[in-house]
């Protein structure tokens, strides 16, 4: 009975992300591209599409919580969520560093975890290398002592235990309710509706965006898919599975309330292979990632856009290896990627998700700037001078500290 329920959930999430993979391929949705357009060309169209995904997911998740179709409190514990976006342990330094590492990695490889799966589906063999290295990095972080040895043993020293202040969640609703002394759930619902509706009005205020059918389609589809995934994992089926999981002969790994994220699947894939295909590692996240890949593949085949692509040089190969490794490490440390934290996490109003999102965008923008200065100035620009000039461009340091003229 429990296994049949889990299989039904996996089929539903596969169907959901199949549609997402198809639409992302059709619309060329790309979070790294969104940052690039904004930083390099001043265009916010694709960034608005990303934000549309986040705020539409927030609105729908708030609605599902209000109607009691999902239990959002499950996201507060590692025992009931994967990952626990709203854990009362506020690991702010972990969020900052993880997001920064992921942002650097996705820029070097020209795409995030979701884009990597989409490109694999369309025949890009370079993305297979990125996925393999991302899987390796994620496996190190999730299934060995690597994360504790190199990160958690010093970042966790600065963690804030919110329970010491009688706060049981790091979501904005709980934090606001504590400050103004109101009911936590009602405050979260009000904030969720107000923020999402205000953001939607802001996004659609310009005629240019209202006419941008591709970016609207992409944003709404991803937001809806994230909400559906929350319903599958933390609605009636997900709650029943959590209650009955202890009676299963082989409890699936990473069970609990969750939605879409695209670094964890690579780590789960590594565990699946290294365990000689132990079925407990056929996870919700892994099947969600597979759905995106297959959806992209079918779109590419039917639209005759499937193309095999390989590296042009050894340096290109090295860049993609580094990219995948950084995304695997940063994605697990930051508990999510541009979708996992930037849309799924934001839909729970998690403060940590907002920090990771900001850190990813900053890491990506900074890396773009540095690489551009190195391209323009060639041998004149080393890492230090390019970084100082980039930080000055991003208004992070005084302009007089720059070592290279603005380009």
Mean pLDDT computed over 262-272: 96
Mean pLDDT computed over 45-55: 98
pLDDT of 166 > 70? The answer is: yes
Non-local (6+) Cβ contacts of 198 within 8 A are none
Mean pLDDT computed over 258-268: 96
pLDDT 10s digits, 51-91: 999 999 999 999 999 999 999 999 999 999 999 999 999 99
Provide the pLDDT confidence category of residue 248 given band limits of 50, 70 and 90. confident
Greater model confidence, 250 or 284? 284
pLDDT 10s digits, 113-149: 999 999 999 999 999 999 999 999 999 999 999 999 9
Q: For position 3, what pLDDT does the model report?
A: 81
Mean pLDDT computed over 352-373: 98
Task: Read off the tokens for 142.
Answer: 């999730």
d(C-alpha 324, C-alpha 269), whole Å: 14
pLDDT 10s digits, 201-237: 999 999 999 999 999 999 999 999 999 999 999 999 9
Euclidean distance between the first and the last CA atom of the chain, given in angstroms as a whole number:
63
pLDDT of 330 > 90? The answer is: yes
d(C-alpha 280, C-alpha 48), whole Å: 38
| Residues of the chain above pLDDT 90, percent | 96
pLDDT of 296 > 90? The answer is: yes
Question: DSSP per residue over 156-216, as a string?
Answer: GGG-EEGGGGT----BHHHHHHHHHT--HHHHHHHHHHHHHHHHHHHHTTSHHHHT-HHHH
Q: For position 1, what pLDDT does the model report?
A: 61
| Residues of the chain above pLDDT 70, percent | 100
Q: For position 373, what pLDDT does the model report?
A: 96
Q: What pTM does this model have? A: 0.97
* CA dist 111 → 118, 259, 303, 403 (Å): 10, 20, 22, 29
pLDDT 10s digits, 171-202: 999 999 999 999 999 999 999 999 999 999 99
- Find the length of the chain: 407
d(C-alpha 263, C-alpha 106), whole Å: 11
Mean pLDDT computed over 318-347: 98
Q: For position 385, what pLDDT does the model report?
A: 96
List the beta bridge partners of residue 81: 257
pLDDT of 2 > 80? The answer is: no
Non-local (6+) Cβ contacts of 216 within 8 A are 49, 52, 209, 210
Provide the pLDDT confidence category of residue 103 given band limits of 50, 70 and 90. very high
Mean pLDDT computed over 241-266: 92
pLDDT 10s digits, 377-406: 988 899 999 999 999 999 999 999 998 999
């Amino acid at each position: 009975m429990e296994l049949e329920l889990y299989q039904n959930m996996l089929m539903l999430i596969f169907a959901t992300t199949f549609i997402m993979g198809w639409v992302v391929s059709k619309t060329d949705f790309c979070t790294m591209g969104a940052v690039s357009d904004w930083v390099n060309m001043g265009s916010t169209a694709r960034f608005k599409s990303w934000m549309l995904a986040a705020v539409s997911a927030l609105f729908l998740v708030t609605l599902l919580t209000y109607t009691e179709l999902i239990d959002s409190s499950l996201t507060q514990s590692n025992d009931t969520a994967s990952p626990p976006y709203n854990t009362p342990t506020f690991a702010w330094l972990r969020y900052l560093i993880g997001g920064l590492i992921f942002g650097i990695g996705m820029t070097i490889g020209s795409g995030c975890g979701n884009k990597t799966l989409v490109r694999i589906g369309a025949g890009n063999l370079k993305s297979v290398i990125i996925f393999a290295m991302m899987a390796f990095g994620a496996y190190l972080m999730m299934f060995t002592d690597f994360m504790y040895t190199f990160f958690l043993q010093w970042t966790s020293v600065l963690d804030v235990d919110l329970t010491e202040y009688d706060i049981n969640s790091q979501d904005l609703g709980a934090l606001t309710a504590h400050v103004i002394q109101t009911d936590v759930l009602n405050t979260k619902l009000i904030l969720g509706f107000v923020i999402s509706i205000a953001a939607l009005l802001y996004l659609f205020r310009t005629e240019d965006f209202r006419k941008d059918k591709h970016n609207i389609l992409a944003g709404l589809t991803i937001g809806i898919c994230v909400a559906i995934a929350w319903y599958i994992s933390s609605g009636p089926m997900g709650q029943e599975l959590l209650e009955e999981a202890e009676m299963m002969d082989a409890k699936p790994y990473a069970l609990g309330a969750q939605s879409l994220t695209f670094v964890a699947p690579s780590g789960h894939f590594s565990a699946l292979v290294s365990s000689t295909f132990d079925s407990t590692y056929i996870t919700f996240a892994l099947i969600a990632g597979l759905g995106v890949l297959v959806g992209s593949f079918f779109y590419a085949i039917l639209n005759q856009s499937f193309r095999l692509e390989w590296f042009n040089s050894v340096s290109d190969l090295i860049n993609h290896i580094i990219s995948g490794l950084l995304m695997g490490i940063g994605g697990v440390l930051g508990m999510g990627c541009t979708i996992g934290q930037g849309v799924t996490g934001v839909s729970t109003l998690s403060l940590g998700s907002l920090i990771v999102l900001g850190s990813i965008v900053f890491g990506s923008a900074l890396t773009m700037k540095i690489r551009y200065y190195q391209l323009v100035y060639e041998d004149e620009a080393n890492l230090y001078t390019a970084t100082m000039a980039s930080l000055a461009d991003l208004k992070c340091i005084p302009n007089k500290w720059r070592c290279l003229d603005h380009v």
